[in-house]
């Protein structure tokens, strides 16, 4: 008797209009996944949808305009996406910004925006996703964190790295809460990637191009690990040295 084909996986991605979010959408569409793409810019989302459908006419793509700092808008977008796709199997908490400056200078508003978007926005997305996953007893919640979550960083990276540390801690706490529920939680820690968002970072050590980084992220997420450092070379090898390095040396290396 032939084995039936697997059901099409339904994936929601926030921050899908640019950077890693857009690249993940391209990669998963090519794998035959159904997608709910969320971002603030409708024009960019529409261009991406048209591109995906041109490349993969069988793809199912729904679009949802949302600012992840608005919890009611996030709730509505996740509910609408679940209705459009007939449910959700994976939610990728990816939306983020990287503005700001060292505290006490001229970057206060940009620092607050970074904190609201990256951390509070992640809380909103996780709350909404789990209201879908918990009744189903299944789902995969993915947080796109950063290697900068492993250590505090100075200057323009200070608030950004702090928000990513919070995202990683949120993921770990949820993983503990959700043991035995059928819901998986993954925290992905990419190294530097040459995207528009990262273009103002003062240092880009061992940066990857978006294509290489996305291949590593998608491959890791498909395995559903607790955490992943990507691309594995060099970042998986550097995770523990980064944590253990004396602050003075770390500051000279990473800023």
CATH number (domain holding residue 70): 3.40.50.720
Residue 165, domain member (yes or no): yes
Token pair of 19 as six digits: 């950077």
For residue 4, is it within any domain? no
Q: Where are the alpha helices (DSSP H) in the chain?
A: 19-30, 42-55, 71-85, 108-115, 121-136, 158-177, 210-223, 232-244, 247-254
| Residue 11, beta-bridge partner list | 35, 90
Per-residue pLDDT for the chain (255 aa), expressed as one digit of tens each?
A: 333 334 689 999 999 999 999 999 999 999 999 999 999 999 999 999 999 999 999 899 999 999 999 999 999 999 999 999 999 999 999 999 988 899 999 999 999 999 999 999 999 999 999 999 999 999 999 999 999 899 888 888 899 999 999 999 999 999 999 999 999 999 999 987 776 655 555 565 666 678 999 999 999 999 999 999 998 888 788 788 888 778 877 777 665
Look at residue 209 and tell me if it is in a domain.
yes
- Return the pLDDT at 6: 44
Q: Is residue 156 assigned to a domain?
A: yes
Report the domain count for the chain. 1
pLDDT of residue 170: 98
- Catalytic, out of 160, 192, 229, 250: 160
pLDDT of residue 246: 81
Residue 3 included in any domain:
no
- The verdict on residue 122 lying in a domain is yes
Neighbours of 90 (CB within 10 A): 22
160 is catalytic: yes
Containing structural domain, residue 232? 10-254
- In this prediction, residue 188 carries a pLDDT of 97
Calpha distance 130→74 (Å, rounded):
12
- Is 5 part of a structural domain of the chain? no
Please tell me the predicted confidence (pLDDT) of residue 7: 61
Is the previous residue joined to 231 through a cis bond, with omega within 30 degrees of 0?
Answer: yes
* Residue 226 placed within a domain: yes
């Amino acid at each position: 008797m032939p084995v039936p084909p697997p059901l099409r996986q339904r994936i929601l991605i926030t921050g899908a209009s640019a950077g890693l979010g857009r690249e993940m959408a391209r990669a998963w569409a090519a794998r035959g996944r159904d997608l709910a793409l969320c971002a603030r810019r409708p024009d960019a989302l529409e261009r991406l949808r048209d591109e995906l459908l041109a490349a993969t006419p069988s793809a199912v793509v729904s679009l949802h305009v949302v600012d992840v700092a608005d919890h009611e808008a996030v709730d509505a977008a996740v509910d609408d996406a679940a209705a459009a796709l007939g449910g959700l199997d994976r939610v990728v908490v990816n939306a983020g910004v990287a503005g700001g400056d060292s505290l006490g200078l001229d970057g206060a508003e940009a620092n607050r925006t970074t904190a609201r978007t990256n951390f509070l926005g992640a809380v909103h997305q996780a709350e909404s996703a789990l209201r879908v996953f918990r009744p189903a007893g299944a789902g995969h919640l993915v947080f796109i964190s950063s290697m900068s979550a492993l250590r505090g960083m100075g200057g323009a990276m200070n608030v950004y790295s702090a928000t990513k540390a919070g995202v990683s801690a949120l993921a770990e706490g949820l993983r503990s809460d959700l043991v035995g529920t059928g819901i998986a939680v993954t925290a992905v820690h990419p190294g530097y990637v040459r995207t528009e968002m990262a273009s103002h970072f003062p240092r880009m050590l061992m940066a990857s191009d978006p294509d290489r980084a996305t291949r590593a992220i998608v491959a890791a997420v498909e395995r559903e690990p607790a955490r992943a450092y990507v691309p594995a070379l060099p970042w998986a090898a550097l995770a523990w040295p980064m944590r253990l390095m004396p602050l003075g040396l770390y500051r000279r290396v990473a800023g």
